[in-house]
């Protein structure tokens, strides 16, 4: 069975969402504040890059993807209120939003050429 590139990117997206959810809602290992923010930034940048590659051809869908990523980040941060050893942080929300912004910019730069090469 031949898997298409679009399906592989969709599976990667599901993996990113599952990974972020698990890491966000499980008790936290002790990280330094800067490592924590870098982790948030990378996770949400990766999320938005995957979403952007899949939706860049339709601006409305791309905007919905950005809104989804931001709301998802907020919900994951709020969910940490209920996890022992975790807390809600405005700086984490900013790191999430920064990651979404960079992921969006990267997807705008690479998605169209990538989609044409991969025939997505």
Spell out the per-residue pLDDT of the chain, length 120, in tens: 456 888 999 999 999 999 999 999 998 766 655 678 999 999 999 999 999 999 998 999 999 999 999 999 999 999 999 998 888 899 999 999 999 999 999 999 998 788 778 777
Angle between helices 59-79 and 5-25 (to 10 degrees): 20
pLDDT confidence of residue 33: 57
**pTM of this structure:** 0.88
Domain ranges, ordered by start, for the chain:
44-120
Angle between helices 90-118 and 33-55 (to 10 degrees): 40
pLDDT confidence of residue 34: 63
Nearest to 69 by CA among 93, 87, 37, 91: 93
pLDDT confidence of residue 1: 40
């Amino acid at each position: 069975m031949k898997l298409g590139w679009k399906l592989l990117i969709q599976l990667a997206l599901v993996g990113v969402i599952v990974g972020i959810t698990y890491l966000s809602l499980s008790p936290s290992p002790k990280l330094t504040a800067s490592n924590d923010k870098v982790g948030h930034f990378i996770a949400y940048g990766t999320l938005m890059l995957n979403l952007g590659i899949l939706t860049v051809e339709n601006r409305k869908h791309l905007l919905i993807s950005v809104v989804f990523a931001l709301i998802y980040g907020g919900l994951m941060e709020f969910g940490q209120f209920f996890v022992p050893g975790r807390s809600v942080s405005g700086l984490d929300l900013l790191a999430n939003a920064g990651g979404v912004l960079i992921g969006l910019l990267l997807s705008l730069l690479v998605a169209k050429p990538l989609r044409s090469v991969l025939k997505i």
